[in-house]
């Protein structure tokens, strides 16, 4: 009898698999920041004062282009590598939920709001009548970390975790996670922009509290962009995720299941998963009746064009629909849900309907997700199109 075939993937194969799993916009930002740093390194460009975020010149000469050029340039190899490794898990999760066009708009919105907060705070500190401190008006800041801090706040709010692990050393309450990181980076790293990171945190909280909802366009805006002939090549890319089926007003719901709190942050788990995918490992081919294990929060990989998982997701949802109808006809409930659980289910269902999803589809998705609205939204997004 022939023994099981043991396969060993090389490092290039693992890297290609890891890279292919990163959505379109997130991978695009990584490429752009990496290429810009390499070009600056090769040509010897280090005049960051010409492109950095410098409040004094933005105010006096109205050089608003610095708002966007400053986030794409990095001062050292460690700077760009650390920022991009932090961006990949954060951007991947948020882009799969929101869609590629929406996450791009969010990054631009966060960059703008960070700059506004930066200018306001720097002006108040520098020109206060009691003790003027002009340092912040003349501080030259570069790097993507301000937006990353905003995304940390948004992802933490979305995950609903009760605690977060800081570098795997100790746990802190989730609501203090971003603030703890801010303090640690100031203490452990040199030449770090305190105001840049602080404004990133403020922008993240402003978004999660819904203060930016009037600045977020509706689904028709994103659909118009996705249907544009100019972007047809981008839309056909396998990593491009359509915005169809997302929240109608752009404010992400929070994960409210208190029984599933985890002390391990999603950022650290995903970062380890990304890094471990590069490693050589042996895999014995087996035929599992249940198929490969999936992330319970994100079944599949989100709905991308040309993805073959959509058919499987639809089949699973149809099966859930048949199971739910069968349960309703026989009056048998295997989990013996309490009245409070039923009320929570109806409340989450009404929220999904208010977002624009059809009631039957929302009910099926919420049932398949065991009442988790975040997973239900991901299932509904994968069925669109």
The answer to whether residue 241 sits within a structural domain is: no
pLDDT of residue 120: 95
Catalytic residue of the set 113, 145, 163, 317 = 145
172 secondary structure, DSSP code: E
pLDDT of residue 337: 41
pLDDT of residue 39: 95
Q: How many domains does the chain have?
A: 2
Do 364 and 216 lie in a common domain? no
Q: Is residue 40 within 8 Å of residue 311, measured between CB atoms?
A: no
The answer to whether residue 279 sits within a structural domain is: no
pLDDT of residue 183: 93
Determine the Cα–Cα distance for residues 227 and 265; give it in Å rounded to an integer.
36
pLDDT < 70 stretches in the chain: 1-9, 244-342, 368, 382-385
The answer to whether residue 333 sits within a structural domain is: no
Residue 136 Ramachandran class (φ > 0 left, ψ -120 to 50 alpha, else beta): alpha
C-alpha count within 13 angstroms, C-beta hemisphere, residue 160: 15
pLDDT of residue 245: 47
How many CB atoms sit inside 10 A of residue 16's CB?
14
- Residue 368's CATH number: 1.10.8
Write down how long the chain is: 385
The answer to whether residue 293 sits within a structural domain is: no
Query: How much is the pTM?
Result: 0.64
pLDDT of residue 339: 55
- Catalytic, 197? Answer yes
* Residue in this structure with the two tokens 């309907």, named with its chain if needed: 353
* Residue in this structure with the two tokens 């390194």, named with its chain if needed: 41
* Residue in this structure with the two tokens 């990496």, named with its chain if needed: 34
Do 30 and 152 lie in a common domain? yes
User: How do residues 139-158 score in pLDDT, each as one tens digit?
Assistant: 999 999 999 999 999 999 88
- Residue 17's CATH number: 1.20.1540.10
Two structure tokens written together for 213: 């909802």
pLDDT of residue 247: 42
pLDDT of residue 326: 45
Domain limit, last residue, from 190, 207, 236: 236
The answer to whether residue 151 sits within a structural domain is: yes
Do 362 and 231 lie in a common domain? no
372 secondary structure, DSSP code: -
Catalytic residue of the set 74, 79, 118, 197 = 197
Domain limit, last residue, from 186, 212, 236: 236
User: How do residues 224-238 score in pLDDT, each as one tens digit?
Assistant: 998 988 888 888 888
Domain limit, last residue, from 176, 211, 236: 236
Do 222 and 358 lie in a common domain? no
What sections of 160-237 are H helices per DSSP? 177-188, 194-208, 219-226, 232-235
The answer to whether residue 282 sits within a structural domain is: no
The answer to whether residue 291 sits within a structural domain is: no
Do 227 and 358 lie in a common domain? no
- Catalytic, 251? Answer no
pLDDT of residue 383: 65
The answer to whether residue 51 sits within a structural domain is: yes
Domain that residue 205 falls in: 11-236
């Amino acid at each position: 009898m022939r023994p099981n075939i043991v396969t060993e993937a090389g490092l290039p194969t693992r890297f290609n698999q890891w890279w292919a799993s990163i959505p379109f916009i997130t991978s695009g930002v990584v490429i752009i920041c990496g290429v810009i740093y390499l070009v600056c390194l090769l040509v010897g460009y280090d005049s960051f004062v010409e492109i950095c975020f410098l409040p004094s010149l933005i105010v006096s000469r109205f050089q608003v282009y610095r708002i966007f050029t400053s986030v794409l340039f990095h001062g050292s190899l460690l700077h760009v590598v650390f920022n991009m490794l932090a961006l990949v898990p954060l951007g991947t999760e948020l882009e799969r939920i929101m869609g590629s066009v929406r996450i791009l708009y969010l990054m631009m919105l966060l960059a703008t709001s960070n700059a506004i907060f930066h200018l306001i705070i720097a002006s108040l500190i520098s020109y206060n009548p009691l003790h003027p401190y002009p340092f912040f008006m003349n501080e030259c800041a570069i790097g993507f970390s301000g937006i990353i801090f905003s995304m940390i706040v948004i992802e933490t709010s979305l995950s609903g975790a009760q605690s977060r692990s800081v570098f795997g050393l100790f746990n802190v309450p989730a609501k203090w996670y971003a603030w703890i990181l801010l303090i640690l980076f100031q203490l452990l790293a040199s030449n770090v922009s305190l105001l840049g990171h602080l404004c990133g945190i403020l922008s993240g909280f402003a978004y999660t509290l819904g203060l930016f909802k009037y600045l977020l366009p509706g689904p028709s805006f994103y659909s118009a962009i996705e249907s544009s002939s100019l972007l047809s090549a981008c839309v056909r890319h396998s990593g491009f995720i359509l915005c169809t089926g997302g929240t109608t007003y752009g404010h992400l719901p929070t994960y409210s299941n208190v029984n599933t709190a985890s002390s391990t942050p999603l950022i650290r788990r995903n970062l380890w998963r990304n890094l471990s995918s590069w490693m050589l490992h042996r895999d014995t081919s087996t035929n599992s009746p249940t198929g490969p294990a999936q992330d319970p929060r994100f079944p599949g990989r989100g709905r991308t064009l040309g993805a073959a998982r959509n058919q499987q997701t639809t089949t699973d949802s149809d099966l859930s629909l048949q199971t739910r109808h069968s349960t309703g006809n026989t009056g048998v409930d295997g989990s013996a849900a309490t009245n409070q659980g039923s009320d929570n289910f109806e409340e989450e269902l009404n929220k999904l309907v208010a977002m624009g999803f059809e009631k039957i589809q929302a009910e099926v998705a919420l049932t398949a997700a065991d009442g988790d609205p975040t997973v239900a939204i991901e299932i509904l997004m994968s069925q669109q199109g």
